Amino acid sequence: MSIPRHFANRLARSFTKLMGGEASAGVLLIVVALLAMIVANTSWAYGYHDLFHHQLAWTPIAKLDTLHLWINDALMAVFFFVVGLEIKREVLDGELSSAARRRLPVLAAAAGMAMPALVYLLAAGTAQPMQRGWAIPAATDIAFAVGVLGLLGSRVPASLRLFLLTVAIVDDLGAVAIIAVFYTAQIKLLWGIGALLMLANLILANRSGVRRPWIYLILGAALWYCVLNSGIHATIAGVLFAFTIPLKPLHRGDSMLLRLEHALVPWNSYVIVPLFGFANAGVALGGIGFRALLDPIPLGITLGLFLGKQLGIFAAIFAADRIGFAPRPAGASWMQLWGMAVLCGIGFTMSLFIGALAFPHHPLLVEEAKLGVLLGSLLSSLLGYAILRLAGAPRPA
């Protein structure tokens, strides 16, 4: 029996919508996470682990002797570089460029990081090494969350999408600061001085009006190499490098920052982040089992992402609106704001990254942390989507 034409047309339109625009990056992450979980729990598990963790026969940088390290320390530096470009653009010429605009997203992001950390500590306890995972549920995955919003189309007001993006960008800045302060090993002084010199040269190039990209790229690569060897996590170099890229328009009307951001965002969304997700999301359940979900670390992360995020962000928005500190986004109902707050509990990329930093000497705890991140992100995406779906069309501003 042939498929009715109208059904086939609807199916084609749904697929086009699913894989087009903002939704595609989020959908790709979902597929990658599922694929990593499947591979890690089949006969391919050994090959999967060997691919990413087996020592390379040759590497140009001694510290990066596995594919996993190249992804987490080198490719993810590019990811953080793009994050830094977005932060700088928003602070200087975007939604964070004035005090009035900054109030609500900064407050919401701060509450959305503090509450998950508190929930985690209440569930997991303050004993070592569990305590080191407090920051894992504090991060929001922009691509994943915006991808879910993209699936909802016109049901979500533009102001809500913009607010989620702004909160997530502030959230990323907070996550970068946490990594730099709380997950940095002992600093090697000479390499640290070298990094400072490279950073100073980049700032000098910006101040002197240098607009040749290759100069910045050479100095940025040198900055990354110095930071890699200094004991500070190498990805911090990506953010510092981004902050030195000029935003001032060139003679053609655009800027170096915008050109780099536009060039790298697709690579970030469709290559670097999916590759990182595939390399880090695979959890071998045979080694820990579903019962591990009730262990302190996965339970704390799951509750932190699923409950802590929405409680912190929604309470901050509600309180700010009621006391007159900052009005809620125009045209968004309270139910839609709740759905958006729930979606902020999707912590995939940054949470997996922090999880690996939190327990460097405890591989089993890293696996348990992955389980908590995946479950908390899954619950947040499903509930957030359901709430926004039921909330109806946006009301006029």
pLDDT of residue 144: 86
396 has a pLDDT exceeding 60 = no
Single-letter code of the amino acid located at 275: L
CATH for 24-184+233-391 is 1.20.1530.10
What is the spatial distance between Cα 347 and Cα 141, in angstroms, rounded to a whole number? 5
**8 Å CB contact between 161 and 146:** yes
What proportion of the chain, given as a percentage, has pLDDT over 90?
Answer: 70
The predicted-structure confidence for 52-72, as pLDDT tens digits, reads as follows 999 999 999 999 999 999 999
**8 Å CB contact between 244 and 199:** yes
In the structure, what pLDDT confidence band is assigned to residue 335 with cuts at 50, 70 and 90?
A: very high
Cα atoms in the Cβ-side hemisphere of radius 13 Å centred on 146 = 20
106 has a pLDDT exceeding 90 = yes
The predicted-structure confidence for 212-260, as pLDDT tens digits, reads as follows 999 999 999 999 999 999 988 899 999 999 999 999 887 677 899 999 9
pLDDT of residue 131: 95
Residue 157 has φ and ψ, to the nearest 5°, of: -65, 150
pLDDT of residue 2: 45
pLDDT of residue 293: 79
3 has a pLDDT exceeding 80 = no
**8 Å CB contact between 396 and 331:** yes
Six-digit token string for 288: 């820990």
pLDDT of residue 18: 45
The predicted-structure confidence for 187-208, as pLDDT tens digits, reads as follows 899 999 999 999 999 999 999 9
303-314 mean pLDDT: 98
- Placement of tokens 């020592």 in the chain: 55
144-164 mean pLDDT: 86
> How far is residue 105 CA from its own chain's centroid?
16
pLDDT of residue 142: 83
pLDDT of residue 10: 52
In the structure, what pLDDT confidence band is assigned to residue 271 with cuts at 50, 70 and 90?
A: very high
The predicted-structure confidence for 14-50, as pLDDT tens digits, reads as follows 444 444 555 688 888 889 999 999 999 999 999 999 9
In the structure, what pLDDT confidence band is assigned to residue 78 with cuts at 50, 70 and 90?
A: very high
pLDDT of residue 12: 44
pLDDT of residue 22: 58
The predicted-structure confidence for 347-381, as pLDDT tens digits, reads as follows 999 999 999 999 988 999 999 999 999 999 999 99
> How far is residue 91 CA from its own chain's centroid?
18
Segments making up each domain of the chain, as ranges: 24-184+233-391
Cα atoms in the Cβ-side hemisphere of radius 13 Å centred on 291 = 3
Average pLDDT, the chain: 89
Single-letter code of the amino acid located at 171: D
270 has a pLDDT exceeding 60 = yes
**8 Å CB contact between 232 and 49:** no
- Placement of tokens 């947040």 in the chain: 380
